[in-house]
Amino acid sequence: MKLNKIALALFAVTAAPLAANAGVTVTPLLLGYHYSEGADDDQADLLKNGSDSYYKEDGLYTGAALGIELTPSTQFQVEYGVSNTDAIDQNGNDNFDAEQEMISGNFLIGTEQFTGYTDGKFKPYMLIGAGQSKLKIEDSTGLEVAETTDTIGNLGLGAMYRINDALSLRGEARAIHNFDNNWWEGMALAGLEVVLGGHLAPTVAVPPMVEPMPMVDTAPIIVVESDLDSDGDGVLDSMDACPGTPMNVVVDERGCPVAVDITDELKMELRVFFDNDKSAIKNQYQPEIAKVAEKMREYPNSIARVEGHASKTGPSARYNQRLSEARAVAVKSMLTNEFGIAPNRLSTVGYGYDRPIAPNDTEEGRAMNRRVYAIITGDKTMTVEQTKDMVIQ
């Protein structure tokens, strides 16, 4: 776990004087998965060095938090964490390191704040907060090539499981919004929270003494069956044309589910590497090509652009150009002949050795350059029942 010295000092100095007071929380280690794939294009537009651009891969997040309970079900925490992973440039080269440091202040608002305190061990909560993110990209020599420092906001849902009055297991899903550049990231976290001095005790209200009410005879209430709403969809049974509608489904005035069309987009990549002076596809790449074919059948309107490349080892530029074209055609032929993808959905182009992704003066670099790179895009529209929590674009 990589934490900077300032953050560690903050936790040590702040925790010491508060340790004797109830409601001080320490989460010494938060582990999670940091998802930032949805912001790749925005990061590439921002993180530039000359003509080069970069974006950060998904990766492991480690952090720690220090908090104090404001009520028995709500606390405020200061959290610091780091996500270390690879970075990719515009050519698909991953020989770069990405480090994203985040420090934020977050309110953890328990649902018991609204429903009333219970003795249960399971304590759901909502998280809202804000802070700062610093993302920097370094090359393989440790030289910084790009960086950005931005304001972020946190929104999340999670739960504590109280093992005892001092220890709780914590799990959380979080959305992170970059206000300065308007992109979203995601995170799933887990950790162990330690409470110093025990949790704050809930305030128990003592009901006032009241005089007993005199007994009053009341007539029985008769419920007319036709006025019931058995499935709880808001339409009375006497008018419900679709009884038994599942909960959370949006219905029309007749009580029948409302159908909506949603569009699901496809974007995937394929990389196939070749032996020197060869255009034959090696067996190890056939399963990857099969996955592309499966997705293209699932998305009938999808198309693929297949690009062939060569290393600078052939007798001439013309020879390498033809070799790169042959490699692209080999991938197209396998998709067409073995997996039944229509040829008019596949386009091929050869670039010879004009677009290397690695130096051609080493064997490792030439092996990287002997490749086919394909981009597959498409979408499909599905009709589904609309639910109350569904966001319609």
C-alpha count within 13 angstroms, C-beta hemisphere, residue 345: 19
pLDDT in the model for residue 23 = 82
Per the CB < 8 A criterion, the answer to whether 81 and 2 are in contact is no
pLDDT in the model for residue 214 = 67
Give 75-128 as a DSSP string. EEEEEEEEEEEEEEETTS---EEEEEEEEEEEEEEETHHHH-----SEEEEEEE
Rounded distance, CA 157 to CA 179, Å? 20
Rounded distance, CA 298 to CA 302, Å? 9
Judged on CB neighbours under 10 Å (0-12, 13-18, 19+), 134 is middle
CA distance to 48, 56, 135, 179, per residue, from 149 (Å): 14, 14, 6, 11
pLDDT in the model for residue 3 = 42
Per the CB < 8 A criterion, the answer to whether 382 and 314 are in contact is no
3-class SS of residue 19: coil
CATH of domain 5-196: 2.40.160.20
pLDDT in the model for residue 21 = 56
pLDDT in the model for residue 224 = 54
pLDDT in the model for residue 14 = 47
For the chain, how many helices (H) and strands (E)?
6, 14
pTM, rounded to two decimals: 0.48
Rounded distance, CA 43 to CA 27, Å? 30
Which residues are CB-neighbours of 364 under 8 A, at least 6 positions away? 358
pLDDT in the model for residue 244 = 86
Tell me 221's DSSP state.
P
Per the CB < 8 A criterion, the answer to whether 96 and 88 are in contact is yes
One-letter amino acid for residue 290 of the chain:
A
Rounded distance, CA 22 to CA 18, Å? 8
Low-confidence spans in the chain with pLDDT less than 70: 1-22, 203-212, 214, 216-226, 391-393
Rounded distance, CA 287 to CA 293, Å? 10
Which residues are CB-neighbours of 90 under 8 A, at least 6 positions away? 44, 52, 53, 54
Per the CB < 8 A criterion, the answer to whether 310 and 323 are in contact is yes
pLDDT digits (tens, 9 = 90+) for 149-183: 999 999 999 999 999 988 999 999 999 999 999 99
The domain segmentation of the chain, as residue ranges, is: 5-196, 262-383
Confirm whether 5-196 and 262-383 share one CATH topology: no
**Topology at the third CATH level for domain 262-383:** 60s Ribosomal Protein L30; Chain: A; (3.30.1330)
Residues shown for the chain: 393
